[in-house]
Amino acid sequence: MRITDTLSGEKVPLQPLAPDGVVRLYVCGVTPYSEAHVGHALHAIVFDVLRRYLEWRGFRVRHVQNFTDIDDKLIERANRLGVDMASLAGQNIESYLAQIKRMNVFPATEYPRVTAMVPQIIAFISGLIEKGFAYPSGGDVYYRVRRKGDYGKLSHRNIDDLLSGARIDPTELKDDPLDFALWKGAKPGEPAWDSPWGPGRPGWHIECSVMARETLGDQIDIHGGGADLVFPHHENEIAQTEAFTGKAPFAAIWMHNALLQLGAEKMSKSLGNLVTIDEALEQYGPDALRMFVLGSHYRSPSTYSDEALEAARAGAERLREAAFADDPAVTGRADAPSDSRERFIAAMDDDLNTPRALAVLFDLARDVNRGRAEGRDVSEPRALLRELAGVLGLTLAAAPAKAQEAAPFIDLLIAVRSDLRAGKQWALSDRIRDGLAELGVELKDGPEGTAWTAR
């Protein structure tokens, strides 16, 4: 499998670095200061599909996703709400994990948190100081950006161009305006940990360097995250880690998903233009959300809209019908096996080309429907359809049967309607069908009776 690597800009073959052959995947997770939105859902789904696919292909995967539960915004919001940072973070983490589950996203192998790694972070920073890559200053510790010549290599920036950006905080504590904080001395009202430099807390980027190293080692196979993290977060991470370990590359592949747009702009917490995961799930369900995400390549930005989600929902429904509708009596022979499996693999191997992979599923669905209509045995393509849908994390489950308790009554109405139909009482039988439709229950008359689905 080949994956586009942000650092080199090329599609790079994935070959596990470690002798045990385990793929080490580190994904930058969320900062749990507020509810997650569908942009986070996209991110979670993309890496979930990567992991499912790799495992399906026989790789073992260690998938680590962090929670940055020490953070400026977290502190700010906790203070505003009058709660402590840990419980605010805990709450949001809990609801994120619940959403992940509802989206049929596999839980990561491990979810490290910054608050549980402070000693390791302090040790890491101390190491950087010893090696001359960092320096304490006024209770803070800063990373010396110009010490190594390759700063900027990930985001393809020239270090001197960054200065002209002029958005840099001109702190007198820094030797160079581009230097960034590894450790921030405590201010009043902030949670703090003891350190050799006085009470304080980790800066923003250091935690990922430490958590990745603690959980996966000095060098990893894939480091993932949203495209908005390339600079400065991942740029700083790669600098710190490679400075500390003296080994490169820190990650063989840097994989970044494009950001979700809402309307003309990216969806983001700071812009306030967002749709939460709960809202999307409530309205369209997990498969529709996933179909929407997989319908475009992970590196091209897509735009969230009701139209797009509705189309995705309809597509998921089509696959579901093909994969799970009851079979009529088989009268013909089975179809010859298709090359669908190979086409699916070829698509996914090529930088996780999920739109092409989905096209294979739709082709299979057509094969199944056609074979079924012609009375052939479709068990083989149907089994493959289910298998591949599973690799993409689609449940193809019927919409949650809200009408579960109403089922006996619906069945009764259907039975009455069948009698009416037998007596050609069309007006009455249609009234039942239309009435149920208004209640969200759809009837389908087939040769073997009437089936219903509730929405």
Q: Which residues, numbered 232-251, are part of the site for RNA (CB under 7 A)?
A: 232-233
Piece of 136-144, 209-217, 398-406, 436-444 that binds RNA (CB under 7 A): 436-444
Binding-residue total with RNA (CB under 7 A): 87
Residue 155 or 240 having the CB closest to RNA: 155
Residue 132 or 440 having the CB closest to RNA: 440
The answer to whether residues 262 and 303 touch, using CB atoms and an 8 Å cutoff, is yes
301 binds RNA per the rule CB under 7 A: yes
110 binds RNA per the rule CB under 7 A: no
426 binds RNA per the rule CB under 7 A: yes
Which of 439, 436, 438 has the alpha carbon at shortest distance from 450?
A: 436
The answer to whether residues 61 and 55 touch, using CB atoms and an 8 Å cutoff, is yes
Among 80, 170, 189, 264, binds RNA (CB under 7 A): 264
Task: Give the Cα separation of 240 and 231 in Å (integer).
Answer: 14
**DSSP notation for 420-439:** HHHTT-HHHHHHHHHHHHHT
Residue 147 or 370 having the CB closest to RNA: 370
Q: Of residues 329-348, which lie at the interface with RNA (CB under 7 A)?
A: none
Q: What's the sign of the alpha-carbon dihedral 164, 168, 170, 175?
A: negative
Half-sphere exposure of residue 16: CA atoms within 13 angstroms, side-chain side: 17
Report the helix count and the strand count for the chain, using DSSP H and E. 15, 15
Among 79, 95, 302, 338, binds RNA (CB under 7 A): 302
Task: Give the Cα separation of 235 and 154 in Å (integer).
Answer: 6
Residue 265 or 327 having the CB closest to RNA: 265
Task: Give the Cα separation of 330 and 317 in Å (integer).
Answer: 24
Min dist. Cβ of residue 178 to RNA (A)? 8
Min dist. Cβ of residue 410 to RNA (A)? 14
Pattern 66-95, RNA, x by CB under 7 A: --x--xxx----------------------
Among 195, 215, 241, 257, binds RNA (CB under 7 A): 257
Residue 21 or 263 having the CB closest to RNA: 263
Piece of 13-21, 101-109, 160-168, 375-383 that binds RNA (CB under 7 A): 160-168
Which of 201, 197, 187 has the alpha carbon at shortest distance from 118?
A: 201
Angle at 178 between CA 177 and CA 183, to 5 degrees: 95
H helical segments located in 82-140: 85-102, 118-130
Residue 29 or 286 having the CB closest to RNA: 29
Pattern 14-33, RNA, x by CB under 7 A: --------------xxxx--
Residue 72 or 176 having the CB closest to RNA: 72
End-to-end CA distance of the chain: give it in Å, rounded.
Answer: 39
- How many residues appear in the chain? 455
Q: Of residues 341-380, which lie at the interface with RNA (CB under 7 A)?
A: 350, 353, 355-356, 358-359, 362-363, 365-366, 369-370, 372-373
Min dist. Cβ of residue 139 to RNA (A)? 19
204 binds RNA per the rule CB under 7 A: yes
Min dist. Cβ of residue 205 to RNA (A)? 8
DSSP state for residue 30 in the 8-state scheme: -
Task: Give the Cα separation of 154 and 236 in Å (integer).
Answer: 9
Min dist. Cβ of residue 34 to RNA (A)? 8
311 binds RNA per the rule CB under 7 A: yes
Residue 20 or 172 having the CB closest to RNA: 172
Among 11, 147, 153, 269, binds RNA (CB under 7 A): 269
Q: Of residues 400-419, which lie at the interface with RNA (CB under 7 A)?
A: none
Half-sphere exposure of residue 340: CA atoms within 13 angstroms, side-chain side: 25
Among 314, 383, 412, 416, binds RNA (CB under 7 A): 314
**DSSP notation for 300-356:** S--EE-HHHHHHHHHHHHHHHHHHHSPP----SPBPPP-SHHHHHHHHHHBT--HHH
Q: What's the sign of the alpha-carbon dihedral 175, 177, 180, 249?
A: negative
318 binds RNA per the rule CB under 7 A: yes
326 binds RNA per the rule CB under 7 A: no
Min dist. Cβ of residue 39 to RNA (A)? 2
Residue 21 or 355 having the CB closest to RNA: 355
Task: Give the Cα separation of 398 and 404 in Å (integer).
Answer: 12
157 binds RNA per the rule CB under 7 A: yes
Residue 68 or 104 having the CB closest to RNA: 68
